[in-house]
Structure 1
């Protein structure tokens, strides 16, 4: 039944969304099995008790809401609407009111310096591409060599598998062009992937995550750094939406919210004159 839902109920959804929903529903199915029922026969009480169970396990409100979204989607597809009526869900904090965690200038420079000093041209090209294009990691690993055009004066990157399956083109500045070019110059294989692993396979999302974890950085922070930089440079919101691949202006406005560091600096500067 879960496989049918993935094929029919999630048609057109991104690979990441399908993966998230599948995992959430597999976990729900395992819990239901322990309670003596299945995805076909569960009731509203089962849903409410599963939500309570997740809360007791100290799952965050954001995680619980993500899981419940998957259950709701499944229930609508399976015509089990009564199972999601009046279910009490912990309200997640309004993410639109908080600024995503971006790297400050010193952190960004430190990351660039450390990765460059490692001598690994692939890793440096990955970091510079993420920092200078704001790509999602899933978009980065899906890139082929044919998606990149490079010359001395300009460069362009075509994202063919963006969120919502929407393609977009991104300009490459001189630093990103230089890093990618230096990496490709040392490649002798015929793999179509832009970034490959040490085993000559297309690099995985997990490999990129591991690369950045070695520097105590989460992959999303590089995307947040790119978009935050555009917002704080007062670039037109339409331009930022086009570059970032965000459909909603509200998502962009998130980046203009003050961070805890911004508020701390404001207080520290007070009365210094």
Structure 2
């Protein structure tokens, strides 16, 4: 089997068997096609350890970040592990492949004061009754209030949200469903949007849809629009232009831990498969504590 055909078969396996999200499957395919371009038109069995090392070395010379190298090495290991299991190759050439470890950069987090300023401002803007402003306020309150992913927010249907109980049923990575709570401010914003905003946006659609959040033309709101919204309102508060909806998820998790929430409870809320993924937020909280200590303690 040639390399391109094997990559296509692996992508189908990721989509149908492992049930990964379309974005994750595209990321795997992109990394593996970079390997294909480096290896040339060869069969799957022709790619050996030296070819893999040469691929990563070229990426290093190109100036790729350590995180990119680590991600591509992980994609190669997953791909060749699958190929070995499927008996497409006799031996896995990636078993001894080593890539630089990812850097331990801490996530972007907004302060509690900045979030209060942001959400209060959006509430005042939404009070004018514009349907898009009502929607945007509800989106921001829910991203921060429930700590959900942008894909989970965009995938919500109206029936997934229970305003009386203050919960939302979301579909996370690997098609795993979970129920997450949200607070009264998010509930109020969602209620106002459903009453005064969504009906106006839904009237612009060519057909009636079940989506909770709608775009200006009445279709389901997409991740790109949410990224643009968050970047516009959050970037000035955190001092960086490269900020997206995930920053609100980081912020929610950090503020929960700052407030004394149990780490495993935060893991369950965020839908992390591994506790180690959640533990990055303990480092953020520790760094904030250290900064406060150095500013306030006379012996710091």
Query: One fold, TM greater than 0.5?
Result: yes
* Root-mean-square deviation (Å): 2.4
Cα deviation, residue 45, structure 1 = 2.2
Give CA deviations for 1:15-48 in whole Å, capped at 9, x if unaligned.
1422221222223223333xx5465643322211
- Summarize deviations over 1:178-233 as a string: whole Å, max 9, x none: 11111111222232111111222211112111111113132211111111122122
State how far apart, in whole Å, the 2-side matches of 1:238 and 1:89 are.
Answer: 30
Alpha-carbon contact 1:29-1:39 (below 8 Å) kept = no
CA distance 1:260–1:57, shift in 2 (3 Å): farther
C-alpha contact (below 8 Å) 2:198/2:214 kept by paired residues: no
2:49, 2:97 within 8 Å by CA — same for their partners in 1?
Answer: yes
Alpha-carbon separation, structure 1, partners of 2:298 and 2:275 = 36
**Per-residue CA distance 1:102-127 (angstroms, 9 max, x = gap):** 21112212322443454411111110
Aligned with residue 163 of structure 1, among 173, 180, 183: 173
Take 1:173 and 1:85, find their aligned partners in 2: how far apart are those partners?
47
Which among 66, 73, 80 is matched to residue 71 of structure 2? 66
The residue number in structure 2 matching 1:174 is 184
Unpaired stretches in structure 2, ≥5 consecutive residues: 127-132, 203-207, 236-242
Q: Is 1:7 the equivalent of 2:12?
A: yes
User: What's the counterpart of residue 151 of structure 2?
Assistant: 138
Q: How far apart are residue 64 of structure 1 and its match?
A: 1.2
Question: What SS does the aligned partner of 1:4 have?
Answer: helix
Measured in 2, the distance between the counterparts of 1:14 and 1:103 equals 30
TM-score normalised to structure 1 length: 0.86
Question: Structure 2 length normalisation: TM-score?
Answer: 0.79
Aligned counterpart, 1:252: 278
1:223-260 C-alpha deviation (Å, 9 max, x unpaired): 11111122122223332222221232333332122465
Q: Secondary structure at the match of 2:230?
A: helix
In 1, Cα distance between the equivalents of 2:223 and 2:286? 28
Q: 1:207 to 1:9 in 2, by over 3 A?
A: closer
**Whole-Å separation in 2 of the counterparts to 1:202 and 1:4:** 30
**Cα deviation 1:128-156 (Å, max 9, x = unaligned):** 000000001111111111101123xx422
Q: Which residue pairs with 2:226 in the alignment?
A: 208
Aligned to 2:142: 129
Match of 2:239 in 1: none
Are residues 1:89 and 2:99 paired? Answer: yes
State the distance in 1 between where 2:125 and 2:59 align.
42
- 2:113 corresponds, among 106, 122, 134, to 106
Give CA deviations for 1:156-185 in whole Å, capped at 9, x if unaligned: 2111x2123221112231101111111111
Deviations 1:50-86 (A, max 9, x none): 1112222222212211111111111122235442143
Q: In the aligned structure 2, how far is the partner of 1:61 from the partner of 1:105? A: 32
**Among 3, 11, 33, the residue aligned to 1:26:** 33
Judged with a 3 Å threshold, the aligned counterparts in structure 2 of structure 1 residues 9 and 143 are, in CA distance, closer, same or farther, namely closer
In 1, the alpha carbon distance for the partners of 2:98 and 2:253 equals 35
Q: Does 1:235 find its partner at 2:261?
A: yes
Higher relative contact order structure (alpha carbons within 8 Å, sequence separation ≥ 6): 1
